[in-house]
Amino acid sequence: MSLYDGKKVILLGDRDGVPAPAMEECLKSTDAEVIFAATECFV
């Protein structure tokens, strides 16, 4: 049972940090539902 199982998740990634698709990939092993994922550039 993962912390994210059964949760709806919003992902905000950082271009110079961890981008959203990478986080999405990590969550594939859980039952979390990614309802929004976006990577932004803060510079």
The residues that touch other proteins, with contacts defined as CB under 8 A, are 15-22, 25, 38-43
Please state, in angstroms and rounded to a whole number, the distance separating the CA atoms of residues 39 and 13: 4
The pair of three-digit structure tokens given for residue 36, joined into one six-digit string: 């929004």
Would you say how long the chain is, in residues? 43
Name the residue nearer to other proteins (CB basis): 6 or 40.
40
Give least dist CB 6 to other proteins, A: 25
Give least dist CB 1 to other proteins, A: 25
DSSP letter, residue 43: -
Name the residue nearer to other proteins (CB basis): 9 or 18.
18
The pair of three-digit structure tokens given for residue 23, joined into one six-digit string: 């986080």
